[in-house]
């Protein structure tokens, strides 16, 4: 199993399954980086024609690394294309830059690297899936090549962000060895997420203007806005005043407390921590990515 596959499995996988020593982990990362210039050269040249299979063979060799493994996944070509087209390419680029705005602070450095690697994991899987479908003789060659080039662009944006992090190797090792566990959802939270996801999207797109979840979302949003407007309150919580303060706060542990207190004031009965966790996750998704 690839290093990134294990990292983005369960927290138990991150803590227990990664057995490589530090030298191996860093070697896997450096081996990957060493393939990027050649991969870029091939993908930029690739097109329909007689040389296509030759390019694909070289790409397969470059993509077969210790970072990502898709052997346990089998996707139809239509499913791959649908996944790639679910979000506009320009929006994906914006999300990478917004991630830096939201999480590139000292107290969220692990989360920042975690999410960068999570996106890289998704990109590399997509590249492997595309190349495999092309090698198998896809009838949608032009469309898949276009998506491959877009994935390359996203990959380079991620690498540029990582290159700016001086302590990246240390953070990678801590994450890979489970020394710093990024909390993942339990099974009940995943069910709640599926149930609430559509509703929260409709709330922030103003398709829904009533109901309990709507009331929670508006109250929490207003509480964040009130806090950010109060410079004394911001400084009292230990934050510096800067243009990205709202993103820093919404992604901080203190936001969870604010959300819990705000929601609990609106409910007569106690709201479970699992429900709070799911609400916080969805609110952050919108706040970080959905306001462009």
What percentage of the chain exceeds 70 in pLDDT?
85
What average pLDDT does range 29-45 have in this prediction? 94
Per-residue H/E/C for 178-193: CCCCCCCCCHHHHHHH
The pLDDT of residue 36 is above 50: yes
Q: So what's the pLDDT on residue 254?
A: 82
Q: How far apart are CA 156 and CA 136, in angstroms?
A: 26
pLDDT exceeds 50 at position 14: no
**pTM here?**
0.72
The DSSP code sequence of the chain is --HHHHHTS-HHIIIII----HHHHHHHHHHHHHHHHHHHHHHHH--SSTTHHHHHHHHHHHH-SSS---TT----HHHHHHHHTSS-HHHHHHHHHHHHHHH-SGGGHHHHHHHHHHHHHHHHHHHHHHHHHHHTT-S-HHHHHHHHHHHHHHHHHHHHHHHT-TTHHHHHHHHHTTSSPPP---HHHHHHHHHHHHHHHHHHTTS---SHHHHHHHHHHHHHHHHHH-HHHHHHTT----TTHHHHHHTSHHHHHHHHHHHHHH-SSPPPHHHHHHHHHHHHHHHHHTT-
The pLDDT of residue 131 is above 60: yes
Quote the pLDDT of residue 248. 74
Q: What is the pLDDT of residues 160-219, one digit of tens each?
A: 999 999 999 999 988 887 766 666 677 888 888 888 877 887 787 778 888 888 889 899
The predicted structure's pLDDT at residue 260:
92
CB burial of residue 274 (10 Å; 0-12, 13-18, 19+):
middle
pLDDT, tens only, 94-121? 878 877 877 766 667 888 898 899 899 9
Closest among 82, 274, 291, 269 to 196, alpha carbons compared: 274
pLDDT at 32 over 90: yes
Query: What's the rounded mean pLDDT across residues 54-62?
Result: 91
Query: Which residues touch 35 (CB under 8 Å, ≥6 apart)?
Result: 62, 63, 65
Residue 239's pLDDT band, with cuts at 50, 70 and 90, is low
The average pLDDT across 20-46 equals 91
Higher-pLDDT residue of 39 and 248 is 39
Question: What's the chain's average pLDDT?
Answer: 82
Q: How far is the C-alpha of 166 from the C-alpha of 89, rounded, in Å?
A: 28
Is residue 253's pLDDT more than 90? no
pLDDT score at 156: 96
Tell me what pLDDT residue 181 has: 65
Confidence band (pLDDT; 50, 70, 90) for 16? very low
CA 179 to chain centre: 20
pLDDT band at 159 (very low <50, low <70, confident <90, very high): very high
Q: What is the pLDDT of residue 157?
A: 95
pLDDT score of 79 more than 90: no
Question: Residue 9: its pLDDT value, please?
Answer: 58
Tokens representing 219 are: 């109250």
Give 189-194 contacts, CB < 8 A, sequence gap 24+.
Answer: 189/274, 189/277, 189/278, 192/274, 192/275, 192/278, 193/278, 193/281, 193/282
């Amino acid at each position: 199993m690839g290093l990134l596959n294990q990292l983005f499995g369960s927290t138990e996988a991150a803590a227990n399954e990664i057995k490589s020593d530090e030298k191996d982990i860093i070697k896997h990362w450096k081996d990957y980086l060493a393939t990027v210039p050649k991969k870029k050269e091939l993908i930029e040249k690739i097109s329909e024609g007689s040389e296509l299979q030759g390019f694909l063979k070289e790409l397969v060799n470059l993509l077969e690394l210790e970072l990502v493994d898709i052997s346990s996944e089998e996707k139809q070509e239509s499913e791959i294309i649908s996944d790639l087209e679910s979000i506009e390419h320009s929006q994906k680029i914006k999300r990478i830059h917004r991630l830096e705005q939201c999480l590139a602070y000292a107290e969220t450095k692990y989360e920042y690297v975690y999410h960068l690697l999570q996106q890289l994991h998704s990109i590399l899987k997509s590249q492997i899936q595309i190349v495999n479908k092309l090698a198998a003789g896809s009838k949608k060659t032009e469309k898949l090549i276009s998506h491959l080039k877009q994935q390359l662009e996203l990959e380079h944006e991620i690498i540029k962000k990582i290159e700016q992090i001086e302590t990246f190797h240390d953070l990678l090792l801590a994450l890979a060895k489970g020394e710093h566990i990024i909390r993942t959802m339990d099974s009940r939270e995943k069910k709640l997420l599926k149930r609430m996801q559509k509703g929260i999207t409709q709330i922030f797109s103003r398709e829904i203007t009533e109901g309990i979840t709507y009331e929670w979302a508006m109250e929490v949003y207003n509480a964040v806005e009130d806090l950010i407007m109060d410079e004394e309150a911001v400084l009292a919580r230990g934050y510096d005043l800067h243009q990205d303060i709202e993103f820093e706060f919404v992604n901080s542990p203190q936001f969870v407390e604010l959300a819990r207190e705000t929601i609990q004031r609106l409910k007569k009965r106690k709201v479970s921590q699992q429900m709070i966790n799911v609400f916080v996750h969805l609110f952050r998704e919108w706040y970080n990515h959905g306001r462009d």
